[in-house]
Amino acid sequence: MEVGTMVTIGLIAVLAVYAIVIYNNLVGLKHGVSQAWSNIDVLLKQRHDELPKLVETCKQYMKHERETLEEVMKARAAVASAREAQDVGGLGQAEGLLRMGLGNLFAVAEAYPDLKANESFRHLQARITGLENDIADRREFYNASVNANNVRIDQFPDVIVARVLGFKAASLLEFDAGEIADVNLAGMF
């Protein structure tokens, strides 16, 4: 066998091994994004199950605040729909509406001392607040996973393997500007 042929075979072997390493790394990143989404999904389901309990507890005290309660339930349905469809953009918008609705609900609840004193309400409020904090933490982890995936599939030489094998960029979970803005508490009363 000629030296040139051996060098060519060796070079092809090295390139094949390198492509396999890149592929395995891209698969790991893709599954990391899926795992991060699953972590968010679990928390969204838990919060989804808690919200009707909170609304039902509030209904007993807040006879004149039906609109606030309905906003929370509509937003809950929108979040569930986006979550089930794995629509990251729609979820971000629905999350903004839900968080605003919950903020309004908790602000309005301040006007009902009996409700604030209710053990069930306090427990649900603490549980939902804890879930909100966990969702924020998991959203940060999800977005970091998405960013790592997206950067990697755009970098050379990974971009070649990614395009040939159909790896796609994932979407960041972003909330709308209303979610980030301060709540106008004066306007709620």
Q: Kindly report, residue by residue over 150-174, the tens digit of the pLDDT.
A: 999 999 999 999 999 999 999 888 8
Helices 119-154 and 3-59: angle between axes, nearest 10 degrees = 160
Confidence bin at 21 (pLDDT 50/70/90): very high
Measure the CA–CA gap between 91 and 136, rounded to whole angstroms.
13
Which residues have a Cβ under 8 Å from the Cβ of 51 and sit 6 or more positions away?
Answer: 72, 73, 76, 128
Q: Output the CA angle 12-16-18, nearest 5 degrees.
A: 115
Mean pLDDT, residues 83-111: 86
- Put simply, whether the predicted model's pTM sits higher than 0.75 gets the answer no
17-31, 46-60, 128-142, 170-184: the lowest-pLDDT one: 170-184
- Above 90 in pLDDT, residue 20? yes
Which residues have a Cβ under 8 Å from the Cβ of 36 and sit 6 or more positions away?
Answer: 138, 141, 142, 144, 145, 146
Of the candidates 186, 173, 106, 168, the residue with the CA atom closest to the CA atom of residue 136: 173
Q: What percent of the chain has pLDDT over 90?
A: 38
Q: Output the CA angle 60-64-65, nearest 5 degrees.
A: 85
- Above 70 in pLDDT, residue 178? no
25-34, 104-113, 146-155: the lowest-pLDDT one: 104-113
Give the model's pLDDT for residue 187: 43
Mean pLDDT, residues 96-124: 84
- Tell me which DSSP letter residue 188 carries: G
Give the model's pLDDT for residue 8: 92
- Above 90 in pLDDT, residue 23? yes
Q: What are phi and psi of 170, to 5 degrees?
A: -100, 160
Give the model's pLDDT for residue 110: 82
Query: Domains in the chain, start-ordered, CATH in brackets?
Result: 3-188 (1.20.1440.20)
